Structure 1
C-alpha cells in the first residue's frame, strides 16, 4: 500500500498481517479522497476500526491537522504507530488500542470534536445505530461520517443522519453521512 497524494505521496505503508483487518485498496482510497478533497485541509480526523491507519494517514498527507486512530487489534495498533513514525506524522496522530466504545467515552470526556469520522467496521457489522449515536457528541454541525461498507448490503443508521454521498466500486461502497440539522 502507498500514500496516494500530498506531502507523503508515493510513500509505502504497511498493513497488519492476517485476516483481522481489511485494508482499503489504493484505488478505493483515491476515489474516496476525490469525493472528500475540499473537506480535508485543516480537518480533525477520527478513524474508528483504523486497521493500518491508511485513511487517516492519507488525510494527514493531504492537509488534515490531526488524526485519532482507534483499533482494538494490537497488531494493527503497532502497524499504525510504525506507519505514522515512518511518515513523520506521529506529532499529528494519537493512537488508541482499545474497543471503540472505550475510545469514544474517553474522547467525549476530553470534549474532543472531529470534522471527519472514518468508519471501516467489519463488513458483518451492519447495525451501526449504536456507533453513530455515540459519535454525535464528538461532531460539529458540519461534521461528516465516511462509512466504508460492503456494496449492496443494507446498513442501519439512526434517522438523525442523512446520506450526503453514496458511491460503490466493485465489492466496496462508501457512504457519507451528516447529521440532519434541518429545523435547527
Structure 2
C-alpha cells in the first residue's frame, strides 16, 4: 500500500498485522479519489473504522487540513500512528481508540464538524446508514459533506434517506462503494412536498 497522490505521494503505508482488517486496495483508492477529489482545498476528514488510516492519510496528502482517525483495534491504532509519522502528517491528525457510536458522541461534544467521512464498518454489521443518521443528529457534518461508505457488493444501502442522497455507486469485485452527499435542506424540502412527515 502506498499514498497515491499529493504531498506524500509514493510513501509506503504499513499494513495492520494479522487478518482482522480489510485495507482498501490502491486500485479502489485511486478510483475513489478520482470521483470525490481528486484534490481538496482544505477541510476536515473523519476516518471511522480507520484500519491502516490509508484513506484519511490519502485525503490529507491531497489537501485536507486535518483528520480524525477512529478504530477499536490496538494494532490498527499503532499502524495509523506509524503511517502518520512516515507521511509527516502527525501534527494534522488525531487518533482515538473507541467504537463508532461513542466516538461520534465524543466528537460532537468537542464541536467537531467534517467535510468528508470514510465509513468502512465490518461487513457483518450493515449499519452504515444508521451511523450517518447519528452524524446528522449530532451536527457533525458540514452542508454538502461527502460520505464514502464501503460495503459488500451483494448488499445495497438506500439511494436516499434523511438528508443523505446517493451521488455515485461503484463495484470492484466483492467490494462496493456508495458515495453520499449530505444536504441540510433536503429533508425539509421533501417534507414541504409531502414526501415525508416531520
Give the structure-1-normalised TM-score: 0.94
1:27-38 alignment, distance < 5 Å: 27-37=27-37
Rounded to whole Å, the distance in 1 between the matches of 2:166 and 2:97 is 30
Partner of 2:16: 16
**Any idea what the Cα deviations from partners look like across 1:18-71, whole Å, max 9, x if unmatched?**
122100000000000000115633121001000000000001111111100000
Bigger radius of gyration among the two: 2
Aligned residue pairs total: 184
Rounded to whole Å, the distance in 2 between the matches of 1:178 and 1:133 is 12
Equivalent position to 2:177, from 154, 174, 177? 174
Rounded to whole Å, the distance in 2 between the matches of 1:41 and 1:21 is 30
Deviation of 1:169 (Å): 1.4
Gaps of 5+ in 2: 191-198
Deviation of 1:156 (Å): 5.8
Rounded to whole Å, the distance in 1 between the matches of 2:127 and 2:112 is 25
Partner of 2:56: 56
What's the RMSD between the two structures over aligned residues? 1.7
Deviation of 1:157 (Å): 8.5
Q: Report the secondary structure of 1:177's partner residue.
A: strand
Q: Is the 8 A contact 2:113 2:140 kept in 1?
A: yes
Partner of 1:100: 100
